[in-house]
Structure 1
């Protein structure tokens, strides 16, 4: 019989507990329980099996059949059972007993570290923006880019005490960052600064496409690790807006979207007008495993009370 150690059901392993998330991604699969193991079959072929004690979540991304025994055993062991349509979260089964993601949600509500988390998120974002600019300042002799790096480094040295000060620092750093980015881009792109809505210049349009793709990846990670996507720390709550997804996107925007798009623009500005090409470029640049790992670290920070360390680009 195949086991979780020999088969490959797209395991994702928690960096702290060592427990696994299993992804069911084969169309027409059947998820059942056999000899006490959660087992995934496609026809008569066993794709994988795992002891419930090994798992913290099972994510189903395709049309398949799930036995009620799987639902029962997931409830018994506190395993999160999540359903997705591709990258888009659809639903999860709420366990009748306390545990799993309900413990995470409780930690989200109870945490007294909202300001600390907001500051950490902003510091992570600015630090990665500096890394992007420093990369180009070494390749190209642009004084405005070097000056932006210097100013943003000064912002990072400040003692930010709460969410309000973090937001002010983020806004100030953004001015230096986007001016420097404009300096790096070909003039033909007519980039005059970041514009979220109603953008017409190719670079802003490409950024909006890239950020939408990144948002989907982060949203998937947030759901998979059991976080409530609407309970945030940096962005304000707004009905229907996944504010926590926006929080956790921040540290990935520059390394996974901005940097590859800047490089593409410098090599061939016309490429940004091809949105399929932009989509493929950003998709290949997003390191989904890193996004998932950071989401797990965020959970651990909430539940264990440890410091949250944002993703550090290189």
Structure 2
């Protein structure tokens, strides 16, 4: 199956015969067989014809709409994926304090573990500062399962994140150095790229949740928030470092992007990706999601990260159906 990303401003997507056809502003045309297309992401001023929208509904093709800089607008999707029995269970267990605590502890423990492993991969020379960061991150990871409530879990999550991002900021190429996590707006190229990546990942997880018949809006870790898919926020946590942070580090350390590929939007203060870097980022993201892994392969050898995310949501569905948080096991890399 294929995924289509269209970021060229002024492009249009239409349906002709058995194909989705992308017509770019300069006249170039790209054809994708309609039976192979599973997902479309459009960024900025990209048009979909009525015929293309109809074909998306008929074929179950999901369309996500973003701004030209990657801010999320909305989603075109059919209403075929709803398991009302599972959703009733989901809403019930989301009100169960102990269920939420146990699931959240598993998710955040895995998140911190994965951050530590990614950080260790990039440390070539140990320094007292890096040693202290690893110590604090490891300590936070060890404390999670002894937490009595969500506030304690979130507290250790915050401690680990602070040391993790400060350490990463010291390890990357000098032009891309940063002091820690910042967002809304992102103030440096690293934070700009991971914010974009997290947005894409959030809606990848969102689609997987819908695919398992659950509601993206009833969470266990994150508090209810108007118009925000909090369950998708929950379920992307253990994947952030594995998929996005490592990918952005690879782009920088591998010199696939240059500092000149970013600019400051003086109206908002945000550091944003120029068009060519944006395209490089999207290609890298899609390659990452297609990379095969042993995680959640269910005895089939290796599967893509995209499929692994879907299978992981399946494990959550089993926990929800059985009302047993022990049925869920998070992804922890080595």
Q: TM-score, normalised by structure 2?
A: 0.65
Contact 2:162/2:181 (CA < 8 Å) preserved in 1? no
Q: Secondary structure at the match of 2:77?
A: strand
Q: List per-residue Cα deviations over 1:266-304 (Å, max 9, x = no partner).
A: 221744631211222122223101110111111111112
> Unpaired segments of 5 or more residues in structure 2?
3-14, 19-32, 36-52, 66-74, 262-276, 290-304
In our comparison, the structure showing a higher alpha carbon Rg is 1
The answer on 1:115 being equivalent to 2:101 is: yes
Q: Secondary structure at the match of 1:246?
A: helix
The answer on 1:246 being equivalent to 2:224 is: no
Q: Measure, in 2, the Cα distance between the counterparts of 1:116 and 1:230.
A: 19
Q: Measure, in 1, the Cα distance between the counterparts of 2:17 and 2:314.
A: 29
The answer on 1:283 being equivalent to 2:286 is: yes
Deviation, structure 1 residue 145:
3.1
Q: List per-residue Cα deviations over 1:164-219 (Å, max 9, x = no partner).
A: 11100110101110111111112212412111112231111111111111112111
Deviation, structure 1 residue 256:
0.2
Q: Measure, in 2, the Cα distance between the counterparts of 1:202 and 1:194.
A: 11
The answer on 1:185 being equivalent to 2:172 is: yes
For residues 246-265 of structure 1, the aligned pairs below 5 Å read 246-265=233-252
For residues 90-109 of structure 1, the aligned pairs below 5 Å read 90-93=77-80, 101-109=83-91
Q: Measure, in 2, the Cα distance between the counterparts of 1:169 and 1:163.
A: 10
Contact 1:213/1:283 (CA < 8 Å) preserved in 2? no
Count of matched residue positions in the alignment of Structure 1 and Structure 2: 243
Q: Measure, in 1, the Cα distance between the counterparts of 2:159 and 2:237.
A: 15
Q: Does 267-276 or 207-216 show the bigger shift?
A: 267-276
Question: Hey, what does 1:63 align to over in structure 2?
Answer: 56
Deviation, structure 1 residue 220:
0.9
Q: Does 184-193 or 247-256 show the bigger shift?
A: 184-193
The answer on 1:161 being equivalent to 2:148 is: yes
For residues 22-101 of structure 1, the aligned pairs below 5 Å read 62-63=55-56, 65=58, 84-85=62-63, 88=75, 90-93=77-80, 101=83
Q: Secondary structure at the match of 1:221?
A: helix
Q: List per-residue Cα deviations over 1:144-172 (Å, max 9, x = no partner).
A: 33432222111121112221111001101
Question: Hey, what does 2:310 align to over in structure 1?
Answer: 292
Contact 2:183/2:195 (CA < 8 Å) preserved in 1? yes
Question: Hey, what does 2:118 align to over in structure 1?
Answer: 132
Q: TM-score, normalised by structure 1?
A: 0.69
> Unpaired segments of 5 or more residues in structure 1?
1-7, 10-25, 30-41, 46-59, 67-81, 95-99
